[in-house]
Structures are given as structure tokens and as C-alpha cells.
Amino acid sequence: MASFITGDPFTIVIDDEMGRCLVSNKSFNVGDVLFEEEAIVFASDNPDISSFDNELLAQAFSDLSDVEGEFEEMVYDFAEMERVQCLDTARCFLQLIALFRLKESCNTNPVILKKLDMISSFMAENLESCESTIITFREKYPTIIPNSLTNVEAGKLLGILNTNQYELEDIQGSGLFVFASILEHNCAPNSSFTTHENRLYMAAIKAISPGDRVSIDYVNDYYHPTHERREHLLETYGFKCKCQMCCEVDRTRPVKCENSVCTDGTMLPLIIDFHSDQLHTEWKCQQCQRTATDSYVKCIIIAEETLLENPPTTLQEYYTSISQTIINRKHYAYFMSLDEMCLSKAADARQLNNPHYYEEALEIGKIVLELLEGILPPVHHEKVVYYDRIAQLAVASGNLEFAKYCFTTAYNMSCLACGVSTPTTMLLKVLAENTPKSISALQEHYRNSKKNNEDAIVF
């Protein structure tokens, strides 16, 4: 491992297996903001916004400003190509190209030049297909990418975006952050991020000591089983995760203990061979320590497959299912089905303007919160998201006392998971202290907060 950049409070190091990593030089407590950063490039996926509204594109492609319509057609065409597939990625890539065009004309400040040098050494996946996309794009639009960038180099820039972009909800798009992209993955990370407009805030969700590597969850598969998380990471980022969470029992797949005497026992699986293509698991009770027999493991697999193929779609089906199966109610399949039920019922309530549906959605949402509290670690950003969501349902249902409780819980959790003074936390503080008494009041609050109303209101 070699040091790359040293400074207070972090050191960037290069690891042979993980690439660039960020090591802390000081101690951070839970809730401390490690750093905040502005995106080097960012863009909206909103088709109603012109690409030339971005100052960087307008400056670098000023020679094309007279044919803005043709430039927009080119952007949309690029957005449809392989390895792009969305408007914000196309716009972000062209902004990176704009930076290189400005660099050639000596019209780029030293900070941007330093970030360009760092970006060029980022890791990226699917480079062959990215290069193929660049070749296709260059054949159709030969004057856009400067000759100083080879197809391989330009393809890597596209791959870097695909691998390292962060979602920016406020602008309905995404952005590329240099230092945030250095962080390594961990399924149980020690930090999490929140964004506001084109800025990112990284906060500690566990105590961090000098020498600790700063980590985040790349895929947010917090309630997915170990084998799915590892497959997702391998397909998307090209590595097999070996974090502590992947080496422990899988708490998202609990089942009843095979020992009939151990009535409160729960069996959980543990992957015992990480190097085989076929993952082998061993099921053991966390109470009586009994290991499941081969015949019981077969029963577990059949029960899981049955549940996944026919998940409950109503609360009644859910209660019936958990009473008739060996699968524990905290199983990830139940969480996924309940989460979908809650969102679907809330959407129906909004479309049909039916208060009763809001009440049903809230009832389901309370179970979802209970499951989250039983699976997630004490501090987790998803708790902020879900308590906020359920608080909104409570407002719509007229249950203002529970709404205030949820907004307050979301705010308290945001102080720890997002940082006390970040925009996300400040928004929730207002909601906790002055909980809206109606849907219209809630919508007005988000409008005044300059957040996109359709994104902010989840029901």
C-alpha cells in the first residue's frame, strides 16, 4: 500500500486490490460531517431543461451555440446509446469532455486540472463496451470529443461515470464527486452521504479512529441477502465483497428453528465457502446453536422459493402467510412485499383521493418500520428516509401525533446519519417542530423549501 496524497484529516492510499481508498487521520464521532463536496459535473435527467442551461457546456461548446437545437438532438441521441441509457449521464459525460476542451484552450483553473488528473485514474467497469459506444458516437459526431482523447480514454470517462455517479434527487439527476468516489465499499459502512442540489455531505455513522478507512454502501442493498448483495457488487463493480457483514450470518433470511423444543429460536444461514462459484451455506439456530439437517435445509429452500414466487399482496395474506410457514416474519421477502404494498396503497390513495387507503398504507408502513428497526444497525440513513415517508402518510391519514413522532425520529436519526447542520437535517427539524396538519400544508412546506414537490411527497 502506498500513500498518494497526505493531508489533514485524510490520506488517499492505493491498495493493490481495492484501488484508491481514503484513510482517516483523526477521530470522528457518529454524526460528524467528514467532508462536503461540490460535484465536478452534474446534470438533470429532466428533458424540459436545456443542456445549454449548464454553464460549463455553454462555455466549452460556445461555437455550437448558434445550432443549439442540433446540439440537443446530439445529446438525446447519445443518451440512447449503449452504456449511457439516460439523459443525465449523457450530459455529465459531455461536461467532462467540456473540461478537457477547456483544458486544451488553457481555460481551466488549477483545482479542476487537479480533479481531472484524479478522475483519469479512477477505476471503471465495462470498459470494452464503453469504448465501443465512444467509437459509435465519434463516427456520428466527430467534432465533439477532442483529438487529444483516444477512444480508450474517452471510453474510460464514460465507464467512470457509470461506476461512480451519485444520484441527486433535488435536480432529478446525478453528479460525479471526486473525493466521495474514492471511498471503498462495505455492506456495513462507517459513513453515509446525503445530497442537496449539487453538493454532497459525508457523515460518520460509526465512530472512526485514526487509520480507519472511510467506507460507504455502494448499492444500498441493506435488506437483501448476502448472495444477492455479492452478485450485485460483482456484476456492477467487478469485485467479490468480503466485508464483515458478508462473512457473518445473514440476518435477512431468518427461519424457525428445526428443534421443536426451541420455540423462540431463529436459524440463520452462513456462507462457508466464498471461493466457490456455488455458494455453500450452513444454517444454525442463534439460540440453541443447533445446525439444520440437510432435509430441513431443503424445506427452507422450498419455503423461500414459494414465498418469493407468490409474495403476499394484502395485509391479510401477510398475516396468513407468517402463520403457516417456517419463514420468520423478518425475512427479506416479507419486507420487500410489505414495502411494495405500502407504496402501492399510498399511490392508489393519492390517485383516488381516498383517505381510507392512506390509513391502510400507514398500517402497513408501521410494520415496515418495525422490520427496519429489527434488521438495520442503530444508525442508518434508510431510517431517515422511511420515517420521513411514514410521517407523510400519517399526515395524510390525519394521525398528526404519529406524524410528529415519525418526523422527530427522522430528524434525530438524520442528526446522526447525515450531520446536524446539513440541509436534509434542517428540513426535518422544521417538520418535527411544526408538523403540517394537512397534505396541502405539507406540499406548501416542500415548495417553500425549493424541493421538487413530486419527489418530496412520496404518497
pLDDT digits (tens, 9 = 90+) for 94-113: 999 988 888 777 656 676 77
Indicate whether 452 pLDDT > 50. Answer: no
Furthest C-alpha separation in the chain? 80
Of 169, 224, 164, 187, residue with least CA distance to 388:
169
Instruction: Output the CA–CA distances (angstroms, integers) from residue 221 to 181, 216, 240, 262, 340, in the order listed.
Output: 18, 12, 15, 31, 16
Name the average pLDDT for the chain.
Answer: 88
pLDDT tens sequence across 336-361 = 999 999 999 999 998 888 888 999 99
What CATH fold (topology level) applies to the domain 2-38+178-216?
A: Beta-clip-like (2.170.270)
Q: Report the pLDDT averaged over residues 129-155.
A: 92
The confidence score (pLDDT) of residue 415 equals 97
C-alpha span between 388 and 390 (Å, rounded): 6
C-alpha span between 254 and 327 (Å, rounded): 7
The confidence score (pLDDT) of residue 425 equals 95
Q: Name the amino acid, one letter, at 353.
A: N
pLDDT tens sequence across 2-22 = 334 445 788 888 877 777 788
C-alpha span between 357 and 363 (Å, rounded): 10
pTM of the model: 0.86
Q: Report the pLDDT averaged over residues 274-298.
A: 84
Q: Which is it for the CA torsion 430, 435, 437, 443, positive or negative? A: positive
Q: Report the pLDDT averaged over residues 275-282.
A: 65
pLDDT tens sequence across 187-235 = 999 999 999 999 999 999 999 999 999 999 998 888 999 989 999 998 8
pLDDT tens sequence across 319-335 = 999 999 999 999 999 99
